[in-house]
A and B are shown apart, each in its own frame.
Chain A
């Protein structure tokens, strides 16, 4: 194994991914080559050093607290809304709201059309309606107000 091959195998050597013969070749080269030995010390030394990081152990009662949190977050809301009785109730309310909305909209539209027709009729009766006004009023009758 030469210097280039050795350096290319730094990660495999650290992660124990080299087969036994490659590992022997790697170690033999590093032991006999001061340049590779220095680089290997720096590379593997940092990795060993990182491994000394200490992290906290779980605090006492972590599992119990997690189960409690499950109960808190486990959607009382979503269970509530997903219950069949509530789904039917919501669907019913929605249907009623839509029907009422449609009826109200139709009534409004109807009233408005009647008002416009009355206004147009009154103006025609006064015989002061010009062609321009009729065209301008047409869009009101079709409900397409500007």
Chain B
């Protein structure tokens, strides 16, 4: 990151390649659209490049990066809500992209159409349940479950205390348990 701060494009490219998966997938889990997720992920990295001079080497890079990710997701969801393109209900519904992406995954994983359809349905339900969580709960869940962040790191991303992170995770897990009842 120090090389990126000096404007080194090769270092920036390495940085994108190292973190692209986590950034794209985190956004996808919040937005539910793979094309949009890549578009927003690019915005995140452009923001990283532009704000590199403000990065304090004392902060862990991934917590700084995911703070930007969290803000970009927050803004995007707020923009969508404002635009009324998607009501909160629509946001929580399995969308076409989740269906398509789930199909590809299910088809690749299983040659049995019935099993593929069941797998697709489960994927859609998990995605919908995660997207339906409030922003901070969802970020805490995604960072904890998929990105392996510690409570302390999540607290830095969300700018809250460790007990607050525990509380967010607990409430999210209770909600997910209710919403996914009968699926597992």
Contacts and interface: CB of A to CB of B under 8 A. Distances in A.
A13 to B, nearest CB: 12
Given A50-B180, A53-B123, A56-B25, A15 B42 contact: no
A7 B69 CA distance: 33
Interface string B115-156: 000000011001101100000000001001110000100000
Interface string B1-28: 0000000010011001100110011001
A111 B25 CA distance: 70
B130 A53 contact: yes
> Could you say which interface size class chain A belongs to?
20 to 34
Contact of A55 (B25, B42, B141, B180): B25
Interface stretch (A39-47, A82-90, A97-105, A114-122): A39-47
A126 interface: no
A91 interface: no
A35 to B, nearest CB: 16
Given A47-B145, A63-B17, A65-B42, A56 B49 contact: no
Q: Is the contact region of chain B dominated by helix, strand, or loop, or is it mixed?
A: helix
Contact of B180 (A46, A63, A73): A46
Contacts of B129: 50
Given A42-B177, A56-B34, A70-B49, A50 B170 contact: no
Interface in A1-42: 10-11, 14-15, 17, 42
B145 A50 contact: yes
A145 interface: no
A146 interface: no
